Chain A
Amino acid sequence: MFKFLENPKFRGGIHAEEHKAETCDKPIATNLPLPKKLYIPVQQHVGKPAEPIVKVGEHVLKGQLLAYSQGTISAPVHAPSSGVILDVQDFPAPHPSALPIRTIVIETDGQEKWFKYAVPEKPFELDPEEICLRVGGAGVVGLGGAVFPSAVKLNLGRKNQIHTLLINAGECEPYLTCDDLLMQERAVEIVSGIRLMLRGMNAPKAIVGIEDNKSNAFKAMQAASAEFEQIRVVQVPTRYPMGWDRQMLRYLTGNEIPADGRATDIGVVIHNVATAYAVYQAVCLSKPLISRVVTVSGGAVSKPQNVEVPLGTLMSEVLAFCGVENEKLARLIMGGPMMGEVLPHADVPVIKASSGILALSHEDIFEPEVKPCIRCSSCVTACPVGLLPLEMASRIKANKLDAAVDLGLKDCISCGSCSYVCPSNIPLVHYFKFASGELFSRQQREHKAEQTKRLAENRTHRMERIKAEAEEDTRKVMEARAARQAAEAKAQEENA
C-alpha cells in the first residue's frame, strides 16, 4: 500500500549546478612533470594497512611492490616511479585532520624504468581465480571513492552466484569528470576490464549505468561494447546521488539491497568504471595501480582539467600544474563538493581515493547564515534513503541520540542532499556525522566501562579468595598449634 507515493526507480535526490563543462571537453593531461619526491601512504584502502618490504636507501623500479597486503581485507602498494627509498616515515594524510600516517617516500630518478612483470598472453582465458589474484596483487581498489579492495569483491562475487555485474559510471558529484574522460578516451580498455571482471566472478552479464549528461562517454562506451552482448550500456537520469551504488541498482533493476546486507545478497556486484580500467591494466598489462585520473577544478583553478597523476604526488604540485590562484582559494576539497573531505592544506599526497582536487572560491561555497528550521520538509523530499533529516537533527540538537537512531540515523549515507536543499542552510550532515561520532565514542566508553567493571569484579573475587585462603591458612595453623599444645599438655600430664 502507498507505493504510489514512492517513485519505484528513484527516490529523492537533487539537481545541483554541475560545473562539469569546465573539464569535460579537455583531454586527460598526461604531461604532469614527474615530482622529485613521491609520498606513498601504506594505507590507501579499506582494511588493514600494507606492510612495507623495502628498506631505506633501496632502489626501486616503477611498479615494484613497496608494501604487501596484510590479511584478507587489505591491498598492496607499488612504486609509482623508479627511484630511491628516502624514508619510511609519518606524513600528513589527505584527511580533514591531516594526521600523520605511515608513508613511504621515494626520491624519483626520472628514469621511469618499469619493473618487469610477466604479461599473460591470453588474458581473457585466464582462470577466474587467477584474474582475482592478479587484481589483488596489483593493489586495485574501488576508485569511486570507497577504496574497497576489488579482489575481495570479485572473490565474494564468485562465491555467491552473481547474475549481474553493475558498473557504476554515474559520476553524479558536481565538478568531477574523471570517469567521464576515462570513458571518452579509454572505453575499449574499460570494456576489456569489465569482461575480465565478468570472467573473474563467473557472472553472465554486466550493465553499465552512465548519467545522461555524459553523452560522449555513453557513445564511446556503446561503441566499445557493441560486439559483446553480455555488456549493456544504459543511460540513467542525471540526478544526484545517482552514483550511490544502491540508488543506481534500484533504478536499473528495481531491486533494493537489504538494509543489513550486501549487493551479493541479491546476486549483484557493483564496481566503479575506473576500477574496470584498473583491472584491465592489472590483468592485461600486468601494471599495478600506480596512477589515477584526477579532476582538478573549482573557482580558484585557472586551468581546470583532468590530470593523470602518479599516486603519491603532492596535491600542491598538481594544483600548481593547473594554476591555482591562492587569493581566490576559500576551501580545498578531496573528492566532489557534495561528499568530499576538506583538506587543511595541499601538502598531502594524491591517493587511490582522490577522484578530484577542488580548489573552491568564495563564490563557489557561498554560505548564508543558518536560520531556524521552518519544517518545509525539502530535506525529506530530497533524502534518497527515505529518512527524516529535520526530525533527526532536532533530536540530535536535544542530545537524544537514541531517538535519532530510531529515526534511521545509521541508514544515513551522508550524501548531503538534505543540507544542499535546506533553505535555512542548516548543516544537517554535520549533525549526523557528529551524532555518529558520538555514538561511536559512547560505544567505546560503554565497552571500557564494562571492561573496568569486569576487572574490578575479578579483583574483588581474587581478594576474597586470597582472604579466604589466608583465613584458612590461619585456621590450619591455629588448629595445628592447638593440637600441638594439646599434645604437649597431654604429654606433660603423662610425664607428671
Chain B
Amino acid sequence: MNIKPISSPHVSSSRRVNDIMYKVILALLPALGFGIFLFGWSALFLTMVTVLSALFFEAVCLKLKGGAVESYLRDGSAIVTGLLVAMTLPPYAPWWIGVVGSGLAIILGKHVYGGLGQNLFNPAMLARVALLISFPIEMTTWVNVSPFFTGLDILESFKITFSGVEISDAITGATTLGFVKTGFSQAQLLPDLLSDYSGFLAFIGWERGSLGETSTLLILLGGIWLMRQGIIQWFIPVSLLATVTVLSTLFNLIDSTHYLSAWVHLNSGALMLVAFFIATDYVTSPNTPLGQLIFGTGCGVLIFVIRSWGGYPEGTGFAVLLMNSVTPLIDHYIRPRIYGRTRDGKPIEGG
C-alpha cells in the first residue's frame, strides 16, 4: 500500500472544460441552424469552411507549440471560436473570408498570446473587426432572406462561396442599422426610414444580417439555457442589454427622429449574440460580479455611442474589444470583499 502524497481535496466536480465548450456549442446551434435555413447552402458551406479552418489552425499552432495536440483540439474551444466567427460573417461571404477570419481568430487572437485562457481580446471579435476593416465590401454585402430550397440551389450556392461569383445586386440590400445610417447621411428622418420595418420579424430573425445573428429569439433562448446550466452568469448580459435599452430609450424620448428605439437596437446587428456569447467569454471578461457589471455596462455604452454617433452602423465588435482591453484594469481594482475584512482589506471592527 504505497500511496502518492497529494493535496486535498480528494474529490472534484464532474464538470470539465470540454463540457462547458460543448454546452456553448449546443446553445449556439438553434440560432446557427436558423441562419443556415434562412440563407441556404452558402451559409452552410461558409460555416463548415470556417469551423474546419479554425480546427486546422488550432492544430497547427498546438503542434508548433509542442506538447499535447489531440486533447486540446478536443476541448471544443476552437470549434466555439470557428462557430462564432462564422455566425458574424455575411452569409454569402467567399470561403477565404472564413479562412482568414478563423486564422486571425485562432492565430492572432489566441495563440500568439499563449493559447487557451491567455488572450486579451475575444478571438472572434478580433477577427470580425480585422475583416471589416480589411475587406469592407465582402463584409457588408448582405443577402436577402432566401430560405433553403427557395433560394439558390446547391450548385449556385457552391459557386457563390467557393468561386467568387459576383453576387447580383438584386438579391442584396442593407441591414436595418446600415440602412438607417445611410438614410441619416442623406438627411432622412426616422419614422420614414423605418416604414417597412417589422419589429416582430426582426425579433424572429427574418431579416438581412450576419449568418447567425439575426434571430434575437433563438440567441436569447440559447443564452438563457446557458445561464440555467450555470455556464454563464447574468451580470454581463443583463447589464449590457439594460444599458443599451436605457440609453436608447432616453435618447429616443428626446429626439425620436434621430435615435432608434430600444426595440430596434435590441433586435439589430450582433447585440444579442455579443451580450450572451461574446462579452461573456470567460477569458476576456472580468472575474468578479461587480467587475462583470462594469464590463457589461461599458460594452453597452460603447455600443450605443458607436451605433448612434460613430462612422460604422454597428459597433459591437469595437465595443467588446475596447472593454476587453480594460478587463485587466477592472480585475486589478475590483476584488471581492474578503471575510472579516472591509472592501479595502482592513479587518472589520469587532464587537
Contact = CB atoms under 8 A, between A and B. Distances in A.
B176 to A, nearest CB: 34
B259 to A, nearest CB: 31
A210 interface: no
Contacts of A80: none
Contacts of B5: 96, 342, 344
Interface string B314-351: 00000000000000000100011111110001011111
B6 A419 contact: no
A9 interface: no
A256 B340 contact: yes
Contacts of A343: 3
B227 interface: no
Contacts, number: 174
A385 B339 contact: yes
A337 B116 contact: no
A267 B351 CA distance: 7
B117 A364 contact: no
A338 B347 contact: no
A186 interface: no
A227 interface: no
A488 B58 CA distance: 103
A387 interface: yes
B277 to A, nearest CB: 14
Interface stretch (A10-18, A40-48, A216-224): A10-18
A258 B340 contact: yes
A326 B1 contact: yes
B2, B5, B290 — most chain A CB neighbours (10 Å)? B5
A260 B338 CA distance: 12
Interface string A352-388: 0000001010001111110111111100110111111
Contact of B347 (A261, A358, A364, A384): A261
A259 interface: yes
Contact of B8 (A340, A367, A381): A340
Contacts of B293: 5
Contacts of A237: none
A329 interface: yes
A162 B27 CA distance: 54
Contacts of A390: 287
B155 interface: no
Contact of B13 (A16, A257, A267, A341): A16
A340 B10 contact: yes
Interface string B215-226: 000000000000
B170 to A, nearest CB: 46
B350 A266 contact: yes
Nearest to B116: A372
A251 interface: no
Nearest to A329: B1
A342 B11 CA distance: 12
Interface size class of B (residues with CB under 8 A): 35 or more
A411 interface: yes
Contacts of A326: 1
Interface string B1-40: 1110111111111011101100000000000000000000
A371 B1 contact: no
Contact of A373 (B15, B16, B117): B117
Contacts of B12: 366-367, 419-422, 425
Interface in A377-420: 377, 380-381, 383-388, 390-391, 407-408, 411, 414, 416, 419-420
B134 interface: no
B313 interface: no
A380 B348 contact: no
Interface string A458-478: 000000000000000000000
A37 interface: no
Contacts of B288: 377, 380, 388
Contacts of A266: 350-351
Contacts of B282: 374-377
Contacts of A360: 10
A425 B20 contact: no
Contacts of A381: 233
A381 B233 CA distance: 10
B3 A246 contact: no
B7 A386 contact: no
B13 A433 contact: no
A329 B10 CA distance: 13
Given A256-B348, A259-B341, A384-B339, A374 B117 contact: yes
Contacts of A368: 16
Contacts of B233: 381
A6 interface: yes
A350 B288 CA distance: 42
A267 B350 CA distance: 9
B71 interface: yes
Nearest to B68: A369
Contacts of A385: 338-339
A331 interface: yes
A423 interface: yes
Contact of B3 (A11, A342, A371, A376): A342
Contacts of B11: 16-17, 174, 337-338, 364-365, 420
Contacts of B10: 331, 333, 337-338, 340, 342, 358, 360, 364-365
Interface string A70-104: 00000000000000000000000000100000000
Nearest to A16: B11
B348 A259 contact: yes
A258 B15 contact: no
A5 B289 contact: yes
Contact of A331 (B3, B283, B290, B339): B3
B188 interface: no
Contacts of A364: 10-11
Contacts of B75: 371
A439 interface: no
Nearest to A3: B337
A259 B20 contact: no
B287 A337 contact: no
29 contacts: A6-B336, A11-B339, A174-B11, A246-B339, A256-B339, A256-B340, A257-B340, A257-B350, A261-B340, A266-B350, A331-B3, A332-B3, A337-B8, A337-B11, A340-B8, A341-B8, A345-B2, A360-B10, A365-B10, A371-B17, A372-B118, A375-B283, A385-B339, A388-B336, A411-B340, A416-B8, A419-B7, A422-B12, A429-B8
The 3 closest A-B pairs by CB, nearest first: A416-B9, A265-B350, A259-B340
Interface of A: 2, 5-6, 11, 14, 16-17, 96, 174, 246, 250, 256-261, 265-267, 326, 329-333, 337-346, 358, 360, 364-369, 371-377, 380-381, 383-388, 390-391, 407-408, 411, 414, 416, 419-425, 427, 429-430, 433
